[in-house]
């Protein structure tokens, strides 16, 4: 996105819109205080944003009046009438969709069970395009302006190319342009852990200052790393594939083809697979188990199943090692452990803490605060939608015409 550096004006507009989407309706004075801008500047900026129909003003009397002296605030908010955006997450065998209006308000969401792995590139794009189009139609969304797509793997966010993915089994797949052609809309792409990290940091102002490393445990394990609230971008504008760091030289099989990756211990598919192996069940697959299946495993372990407890013990140890590497490599101010995998945090914690302590220098460990944020895949589609809306903000008025 945004290849040419933004002008000061555009930067200011973005900051303003970002704050407004995050914090909800605000009066101009409040915006000024929030962003450290002078009232004059806010007035100027909002005037053009109102002009373009991106923002709208509250009707007089909407607020609890009568008690405060002085001229009442007129709060500004996103118009929400500039069309809608669809956020999509693609997993190994599941697609999650979410429809929001341009103000970021949720209008609909949907889970679809569909195995995506092993589809050819064209077939994959056809399936996704159909699923998205059907979802839009079912919900009467004729004003979709853009699609935001999050998936596992290394995503070139500038050109919308999946450079590599353990899930789609694709290499250098130009998913954004392929889907864009089929749907006739712009498609923005993001790594899934980055999308969730974005959503989480948007909700917590503390996490937007300094450096925040969000380790998402779910279908796979991913890392979203933010510096001063901005997503870190590696070479080719992708994020991190921290989940595929090999921690144990001959550990369990990972979906990336390697062995002993962090993900191969912690991800839902890994825990589910290993739990089935314990029970001598037949077909250990790499399919993503549902929340019920995972819940059952956790419950069984909590009930005292020794073999399962061992699994979680090993996983917790890997989590501790992983967080240790993050601490000593990046010295983040905040570490967030998030995603559906946090459902078993109680089981992971003892070995997690022991491993973390055994391998980090106390003085350095003390510099990072560790947060556990229980979050589901819903937060992920929220993240990708928020991120897409943010990228689109500057184009909203232009897209409105189209």
Partner DNA sequence: TCCACTTTATTCGGCTCATGAATAAAACAA
Partner DNA sequence: TTGTTTTATTCATGAGCCGAATAAAGTGGA
Of 316-335, which residues contact a second copy (CB under 8 A)? Answer: 321, 324-326, 328-333
Of 53-92, which residues contact DNA (CB under 7 A)? Answer: 60, 65-75
The stretch near a second copy (CB under 8 A) out of 163-171, 178-186, 199-207, 391-399 is 163-171
Q: Does 11 bind a second copy (CB under 8 A)?
A: no
Tally of CB atoms within 10 A around 257: 9
Q: Does 37 bind DNA (CB under 7 A)?
A: yes
Give 386's Cβ-side CA count (13 Å radius): 23
CB of 52 to DNA, least distance (A): 14
Which of 2, 23, 24, 29 lies at the binding interface for DNA (CB under 7 A)?
29
The answer to whether the CB of 347 falls within 8 A of the CB of 298 is yes
Q: Does 120 bind DNA (CB under 7 A)?
A: no
What is the size of the binding site for a second copy (CB under 8 A)? 40
What's the CA gap between 190 and 400, in Å, rounded?
A: 24
User: Residue 245 touches which of a second copy, DNA, none (CB < 5 to 8 A by kind)?
Assistant: a second copy
Which of 45, 55, 85, 163 lies at the binding interface for a second copy (CB under 8 A)?
163
List Cα–Cα distances, 254 to 57, 149, 166, 220, 263, in angstroms. Answer: 52, 24, 9, 10, 7
Give the CA angle between residues 295, 299, 304 to the nearest 5°. Answer: 150
Tally of CB atoms within 10 A around 142: 9
Which of 46, 84, 191, 240 lies at the binding interface for DNA (CB under 7 A)?
46
Pick the closer one to DNA by CB: 48 or 358: 48
User: Residue 329 touches which of a second copy, DNA, none (CB < 5 to 8 A by kind)?
Assistant: a second copy
The stretch near a second copy (CB under 8 A) out of 65-73, 87-95, 256-264, 371-379 is 256-264
User: Residue 316 touches which of a second copy, DNA, none (CB < 5 to 8 A by kind)?
Assistant: none
Pick the closer one to DNA by CB: 4 or 66: 66
> Which parts of this chain interact with a second copy (CB under 8 A)?
154, 163-164, 171-172, 210-211, 223, 232, 234-236, 238-242, 244-246, 256-258, 321, 324-326, 328-333, 358-359, 361, 363-364, 367-368
């Amino acid at each position: 996105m945004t290849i040419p550096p933004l002008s000061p004006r555009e930067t200011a507009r973005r900051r303003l819109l970002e704050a407004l989407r995050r914090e909800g309706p605000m009066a101009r004075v409040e915006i000024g205080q929030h962003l450290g801008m002078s009232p004059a500047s806010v007035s100027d900026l909002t005037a053009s944003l109102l002009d373009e129909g991106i923002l709208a003003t509250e009707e007089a009397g909407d607020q609890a009046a009568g008690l405060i002296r002085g001229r009442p605030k007129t709060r500004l908010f996103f118009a929400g009438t500039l069309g809608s955006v669809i956020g999509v997450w693609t997993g190994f065998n599941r697609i999650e969709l979410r429809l929001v209006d341009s103000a970021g308000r949720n209008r609909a969401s949907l889970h679809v069970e569909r195995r995506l792995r092993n589809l050819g590139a064209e077939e994959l794009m056809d399936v996704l395009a159909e699923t998205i189009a059907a979802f839009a139609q079912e919900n009467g969304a004729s004003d979709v302006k853009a699609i935001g797509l999050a998936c596992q793997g290394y995503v070139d966010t500038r050109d919308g190319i999946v450079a590599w993915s353990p899930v789609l089994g694709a290499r250098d797949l130009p998913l954004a342009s392929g889907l864009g052609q089929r749907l006739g809309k712009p498609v923005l792409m993001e790594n899934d852990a980055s999308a969730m990290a974005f959503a989480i940091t948007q909700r917590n102002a503390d996490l937007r200052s300094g450096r925040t490393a969000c380790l998402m445990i779910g279908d796979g394990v991913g890392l979203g790393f933010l510096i001063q609230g901005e997503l870190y971008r590696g070479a080719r504008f992708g994020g991190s594939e921290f989940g595929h760091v090999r921690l144990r030289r001959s550990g369990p099989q990972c979906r990336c083809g390697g062995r002993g990756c962090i993900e191969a211990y912690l991800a839902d598919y890994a825990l589910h697979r290993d739990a089935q192996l314990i029970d001598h069940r037949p077909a250990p697959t790499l399919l993503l188990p549902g929340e019920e299946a995972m819940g059952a495993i956790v419950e069984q372990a909590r009930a005292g199943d020794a073999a399962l407890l061992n699994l979680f013990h090993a996983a917790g140890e890997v989590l501790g090692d992983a967080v240790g590497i993050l601490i000593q490599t990046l010295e983040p101010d905040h570490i967030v452990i998030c995603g559906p995998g946090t459902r078993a945090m109680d089981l992971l914690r003892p070995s997690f803490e022991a491993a973390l302590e055994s391998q980090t220098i106390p003085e350095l460990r003390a510099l990072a605060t560790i947060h556990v944020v229980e979050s589901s895949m819903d937060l992920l589609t929220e993240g990708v939608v928020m991120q897409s809306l943010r990228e689109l903000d500057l184009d909203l008025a232009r897209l409105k015409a189209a």
